[in-house]
Amino acid sequence: MAVASAAQTHTTPFWRRRSFIQAATGWLFAAPILIYFTIFVFGPILASLAMMFFKWNGFGPLTQAEFVGLGNVTEVAGDEKFLGSFRNTFVYAIVVVGSGVIVGLMLALVLNGVTKFVGFVRSTYYLPVMLPMTAMALLWGLMFQVRYGFLNQILSFVNIPPVRWLINPDIALYSISLMVVWKGLGWYMVIFLAGLKAIPEEYYEAARVDGATGWQRFWKITLPLLKPTLLFVIVVTVIGSLQVFSPIFIMTQGGPANATNVVVYWVYMTAFQFLRFGYATTQAVYLFAVILVITVIQLRLFREGGLTSYY
Amino acid sequence: MNLSRRQLLKTMGAGSLGLALVGCAAPAAPAADGGGAAEPSAAATELTIWFHWGGAAGERAQEMIDSYNADGGAADNINVTIETVPGGEYRQKMTATRMAGTGPDTYHTAIPILELVSNEVALEMPDEDQAYVSDNYIGAAVDRMTFQGKIWAYPTEHQAAALIYRRSVLEEEGISEIPETMEELRDLAKALTREEDGIKFYGYTFNHDGYQPNFHFPGIVWRSGGELYEFEGDIPRTVTVNTPEAAFGLGWWRGMVDDGSTQIGEVTYNEAWQNGLAFMTEIEPWYPLIVLRDGGAEEIFEDLGVTHVRGRSGVDPTIQSGGWEILADRSTEHPEEAFKFIRWMMHGPDMPFSRFIVETIGSLPAPLDYPTPIEGWSDAMSQGYAIETTPITRPHPGLKALGDGELNQAIKETVQAVLLQQKDVEPALADLEPQLQEILDRTEGDREF
């Protein structure tokens, strides 16, 4: 019998064998997404990596592209404006992520205890998240106006002189960060609320029985058990913050006097205004490398803090 | 219904084949009843042109092209279709469509001629068109269209700033004429600046964050007796902004800030004008037409006086100009028809495209025989822009530089830093000069005259 089966296996063409059909079925189902990724993701990535070694203005024929070896790579490393844009981006990321996490967590803790109008209150806070960034940036641009802006009108009621929100190079980046934190607060809140709901109530009851104060319960129970949520929020928002573009493009165009010039905006300028596609691609690859390193560090830090036990 | 894996594969394979056949099938034949009555005849040459306008301007542009299709186009058996492309996306779309072989036949674009020629976009104009432009357009516009001794396009917008002011405000102060020099103008701005009931009125206004810091900078240096670059033939080689003349010009702008005569961010430029808080400024003609007349500030529009910009004592006033042009693509399959179409739009006496641009969009008239007063403009605008300013224009020098975008950015950052009182004038210009020189050296490189 076994011999007969073996003989059959040898005589059956490979395309009629079960193993082939199973594999082919799998590949067939995966084919659309693989084709999509090959054309629209892997292709551009490879093209970008190749473009790093060329000088091309993105406008003329590709035959005009000139091979420059590592010229772009070394030039970007010493480009003061590019490095300046990195400094601004890091400041922005620290402010936005730090404020968003702290305020979002506080908000979630408060709303976690709300029992009436829960849906309404949460929806209200979440509303700005659903609004388009372009519209919000334009609206906040009006609110930031020095003389007639809403924020300075409010400040005038308490005799605070007008603030030059987007005009003063020393505060323009923080003003934009304020808008972005406000807009994203609902998202932080929802994620943290989900994390808080996942913490078993029994832990708190046991702590209360043991006489733990609210502060102690927060530090010893809530925060440690929120670590997976915190990791998710921080990793995602750090990556998003390092890629900030829209509010800068709409509200300040990198100004005043370069004070809000961030990396992605500068990459855009380099490619589409300065027509240096190879150089801009190199800048983008640098940004990718930085994001990759930061993300790996974040994952390691949290893992060392005991995160893996929750996954 | 249960399908075996094999049946499923067969079904999917057959489906894919069917879809592929449908996709590859020839398009359906047109309806036999001639449902496309508006369609051109089979023999008509189809041309495309890229415009960037939407809204009311877009509708007016469509009317113009419809008029061509019914008139000159019908006579020459040419049918033109507009493709609307946002101005900021021209370069990318040009690259993509030309690579795909679907580029337009003609463009209306603001991309400098130098770039269009260097990147093999512009089709060389026939001799008769070059001669027409040379003979019928003002010198600055012809200069802007010229590269390597040839004229590559018809100039359309010819944008340059003039001095606009509120006549009634000056009359209240007993001033009947605008002073003749930059120095006196600064004094006047200071005198006109005032605060009433907690509201500040500005003698002069600047836009520190728009296109003006970089676009207006060369003009202000010229009017102060300086130059931005030294040219070798067509090519800018040496930067000359760290000079007393340039310092005077930039210092004049900064002086207005130090005097408190201008707004830098307290209110936006548009708000200052639309709310009657501003009394003088330098701006191109599109501004009073679109922002004031069409923007709900008709009273202010009617009150505007317009005259040419002023120079430093002893220096002739000169103003930078830029703008758009119309040209044929090098890869068009219908070059003769493309130029027939362009001639219909640009040649006098009708010059429908020039009239559309000047009267609707608002630009200085570039054709020499453009009739004045200009329809739809106030008499003051016709006088100040068309008659006084047109002859004193020079093309913006950045239009002759391959690194225009980078040069503009560096200039903008410097002017902003000075106007925001972050840097003093002389050190700022001393920092700027090597930056510009590095860009010129890198971008112009071994380009030969």
Residues of A in contact with B405 (CB under 8 A): 269, 273-275
| B423-440 per-position pLDDT tens digit | 999 999 999 999 999 999
Residue of A nearest to B265 (CA): A167
Question: What's the rounded Cα separation, in Å, for the pair B80 and B365?
Answer: 25
Q: Write the class of the CATH domain B45-158+323-369.
A: alpha beta
Question: Which residue has tokens 């944008």?
Answer: B159
Does B209 have pLDDT greater than 90?
no
| B96-108 per-position pLDDT tens digit | 888 888 899 999 9
CB atoms near residue A119 (< 10 Å): 7
The closest alpha carbon to A24, from B10, B117, B178, B261, belongs to B10
Q: Minimum mean pLDDT among A16-20, B125-129, B289-293, B335-339: which range?
A: A16-20
Half-sphere exposure of B94 (CA within 13 A, CB side): 33
Length of chain A: 311
Residue type, B410: A
What is the edge-to-edge ordering of all strands in the sheet holding B159-160? Answer: B159-160, B319-322, B393-395
Question: What's the rounded Cα separation, in Å, for the pair A87 and B281?
Answer: 37
Per DSSP, B395 falls in state E
Nearest CA-CA distance, residue B260 and chain A, Å = 15
Query: Residue B299 region, left (φ>0) first, then alpha (ψ -120 to 50), else beta?
Result: alpha
Q: Write the class of the CATH domain B160-321+394-444.
A: alpha beta
Residues of B in contact with A168 (CB under 8 A): 420
Considering only CB atoms, B266 lies closest to which of A21, A64, A146, namely A146
pLDDT (average), residues B278-303: 94
Does B41 have pLDDT greater than 80?
no
Residue of B nearest to A23 (CA): B5
Residue of B nearest to A61 (CA): B119
Site from A51, A59, A68 to mutate, B interface, most B CB atoms within 10 angstroms: A59
Nearest CA-CA distance, residue A121 and chain B, Å = 36
Is the CB of B434 inside 8 Å of chain A's CB atoms?
no
Residue of A nearest to B411 (CA): A257
Considering only CB atoms, B416 lies closest to which of A59, A255, A269, namely A255
Q: Burial of A236 by CB count in 10 Å (0-12 exposed, 13-18 middle, 19+ buried)?
A: middle
Question: What's the rounded Cα separation, in Å, for the pair B53 and A120?
Answer: 43
Domains along chain A with CATH numbers: 18-72 (no CATH), 79-310 (1.10.3720.10)
Count interface pairs A-B at CB distance under 8 A: 79
Does B382 have pLDDT greater than 50?
yes
Residue A8 pLDDT: 55
Nearest CA-CA distance, residue A59 and chain B, Å = 5
The closest alpha carbon to B44, from B301, B337, B384, belongs to B337
Residue of A nearest to B208 (CA): A256
Q: How confident is residue A308, by pLDDT bands cut at 50, 70 and 90?
A: very low
Residue A5 pLDDT: 54
CB atoms near residue A162 (< 10 Å): 16
Position with higher pLDDT, B189 vs A272: B189
**Domain(s) of CATH 3.40.190.10: residues in chain B:** 45-158+323-369, 160-321+394-444
Residue B174 pLDDT: 92
Sequence-separated (6 or more) residues with CB below 8 Å from residue B38:
none
For the packed helices A80-112 and A227-242, what is the interaxial angle rounded to 10 degrees? 150
Residue B267 pLDDT: 87
Residue B33 pLDDT: 37
Question: What's the rounded Cα separation, in Å, for the pair A31 and A19?
Answer: 18
Q: Minimum mean pLDDT among A298-302, B34-38, B51-55: which range?
A: B34-38
Question: What's the rounded Cα separation, in Å, for the pair B182 and B219?
Answer: 12
Distance of CA B71 to the CA centre of its chain: 29
Q: What is the dihedral of CA A267, A273, A278, A283, to 10 degrees?
A: -10
Q: What is the pTM of this model?
A: 0.84
Note whether B311 and B181 are within 8 A (CB).
Answer: yes
Per DSSP, A220 falls in state I
Strand B393-395 to B159-160 pairing: unpaired
Note whether B221 and B249 are within 8 A (CB).
Answer: yes
- Give B 407-426 residues with CB within 8 A of chain A: 409, 412-413, 416-417, 420, 422
Does B183 have pLDDT greater than 80?
yes
Residue of B nearest to A16 (CA): B6
Residue A4 pLDDT: 53
Considering only CB atoms, A275 lies closest to which of B99, B405, B412, namely B405
B5–A272 CB contact, under 8 Å: no
Q: Which two tokens stand for residue A290?
A: 């930085």
Note whether B253 and B264 are within 8 A (CB).
Answer: no
Residue B91 pLDDT: 85
Residue A3 pLDDT: 53
Q: What is the dihedral of CA B416, B418, B419, B420, to 10 degrees?
A: 80
Is the CB of A84 inside 8 Å of chain B's CB atoms?
no
Site from A164, A261, A274 to mutate, B interface, most B CB atoms within 10 angstroms: A274
Nearest CA-CA distance, residue B402 and chain A, Å = 9
- Predicted ipTM beyond 0.85: no
Is the CB of B101 inside 8 Å of chain A's CB atoms?
no
Residue B360 pLDDT: 87
| A58-79 per-position pLDDT tens digit | 888 888 889 999 999 999 999 9
Average model confidence (pLDDT) across chain B: 89
Length of chain B: 449
Note whether B159 and B363 are within 8 A (CB).
Answer: yes
Average model confidence (pLDDT) across chain A: 90
Nearest CA-CA distance, residue A93 and chain B, Å = 24
Question: What's the rounded Cα separation, in Å, for the pair B69 and B77?
Answer: 9
B413–A258 CB contact, under 8 Å: yes
Residues of A in contact with B8 (CB under 8 A): 25
Strand B106-109 to B325-328 pairing: antiparallel
Is the CB of B209 inside 8 Å of chain A's CB atoms?
yes
Nearest CA-CA distance, residue B302 and chain A, Å = 26
Q: Is B442 helix (H, G, I), strand (E, B) or coil?
A: helix
| A201-216 per-position pLDDT tens digit | 999 999 999 999 999 9
Sequence-separated (6 or more) residues with CB below 8 Å from residue A307:
A227, A228, A231
Per DSSP, B181 falls in state B
Is the CB of A28 inside 8 Å of chain B's CB atoms?
yes
Does A246 have pLDDT greater than 80?
yes
Residue A38 pLDDT: 92
| A95-132 per-position pLDDT tens digit | 999 999 999 999 999 998 887 887 888 888 899 999 99
Is the CB of B12 inside 8 Å of chain A's CB atoms?
yes
Is the N-terminal amide bond of B349 cis, ω within 30° of 0?
yes
What percent of chain B has a predicted confidence (pLDDT) above 70? Answer: 90
Residue B207 pLDDT: 87
Considering only CB atoms, A257 lies closest to which of B121, B271, B422, namely B422
Question: Which residue has tokens 């000139």?
Answer: A66
pLDDT (average), residues A158-165: 92
| B293-332 per-position pLDDT tens digit | 988 999 999 999 999 999 999 999 999 999 999 999 999 9
Question: What's the rounded Cα separation, in Å, for the pair B273 and B262?
Answer: 12
